[in-house]
Amino acid sequence: MSGSGIFDRQLMLQFQKRALAKPVAGADFLLERSVEDVLDRLSAVEKQFSTGVALMGYTDALARGLQQSGKVEKTIRIEQGDFYFQSSDAAFEHGVVEPGEILPLEPQSADLIVSLMSLHLINDLPGMLIQIARALRPDGLFLAAFPGTGTLGELRESLMQAEIELSGGAAARIAPFADIRDAGALLQRAGFALPVTDVDTVTVRYNSMFDLLKDIRAMGMQNILVDRSKKPLTRSVFMRAAQIYSTRFSDPDGRIRASFSTLWMSGWKPHESQQKPLKPGSAKASLADALKQFQVKPDEE
């Protein structure tokens, strides 16, 4: 274990380094989908950004997408280790998040920061969001996507039930995921204006639970919980879990379903030009007066 917190981030880096060294075609479908989605969202923003940051996007897909979007003049790519970068990244300025989750950005040095599929593995997420807000210039935009509640729910249930049946108890095998209310509260706590959150859920079908597990390993997203059981699951538990999965979460053709719920959050660095909510008591007409015009008269009943 490295340091304290929920996640063993050194183990995370080991898993991801191994995954990047032997990429599996198609296993990055969630990342590719989120890159396309973020570019669609940016196209609806009537603003040009002089400096954009692709924060912890695993591959160069996000950085290249921002640079080619026509919305960003200069793109900086920041990852969690040097091994994420390839020779092709010479086109971008780059930096590395320090082991203590310190963001290598000066205050008010960017006006767009985008993070995809990584913030759910940060031990101090409130602190990271505060750092991101500090790095943005006034009226700068923050956009992020990461797995939310419901992701891999079928796998979680199947593994837990199988382990309880065969071992008499179950250990945490899948990381906890934030829900949409948590995301909104975190944005407000970090000082972002006009916070918005939404969820995009996609169901992916596999031939078996073992094919799903192969994709998870190819993503470098195995269990990195600090409190994980150090005792690996037995073959019998895996086989029973696969049976439960197939029984409860399969389609008529025998293929199983896996849910991936992507939680999106966005917020702006406060600026005087932004729309502000009315102060309590500042309304010019009361709600009671407004409702009077809709009251039914006796002869209209």
3-class SS letters over 117-167: CCHHHCCCHHHHHHHHHHHEEEEEEEEEEEEECCCCHHHHHHHHHHHHHHH
Got the DSSP string for 200-239? EEEEEEESSHHHHHHHHHHTT----BTT--SSPPPHHHHH
AA identity, residue 215: D
Tens digit of each residue's pLDDT, the chain (301 residues):
344 689 999 999 999 999 999 989 999 999 999 999 999 999 999 999 999 999 999 999 999 999 999 999 999 999 998 888 876 666 678 888 887 899 999 999 999 999 999 999 999 999 999 999 999 999 999 999 999 999 999 999 999 999 999 988 888 888 889 889 889 999 999 999 999 999 999 999 999 999 999 999 999 999 999 988 888 899 999 999 999 999 999 999 999 999 999 999 999 999 887 766 555 554 455 445 544 544 444 444 4
79, 56 contact by CB (below 8 A): yes
Question: Both tokens of residue 134?
Answer: 């500090």
Q: Specify the pLDDT at position 276.
A: 65
For 95, phi and psi rounded to 5 degrees? -155, 170
Q: Specify the pLDDT at position 288.
A: 52
Q: Specify the pLDDT at position 5.
A: 85
110, 135 contact by CB (below 8 A): yes
96, 82 contact by CB (below 8 A): yes
For strands 136-147 and 110-116, give the pairing. parallel
Q: Which residues contact 103 (CB under 8 A, 6 or more apart)?
A: 55, 78, 97, 128, 131, 132, 135
134 vs 64, 116, 193, 227, 283, CA distance in Å?
A: 24, 19, 13, 32, 33
**Tally of residues, the chain:** 301
pTM here? 0.86
Residue of 130, 113, 138, 131 whose CA lies nearest to 62: 113
Q: Which residues contact 240 (CB under 8 A, 6 or more apart)?
A: 162, 165, 166
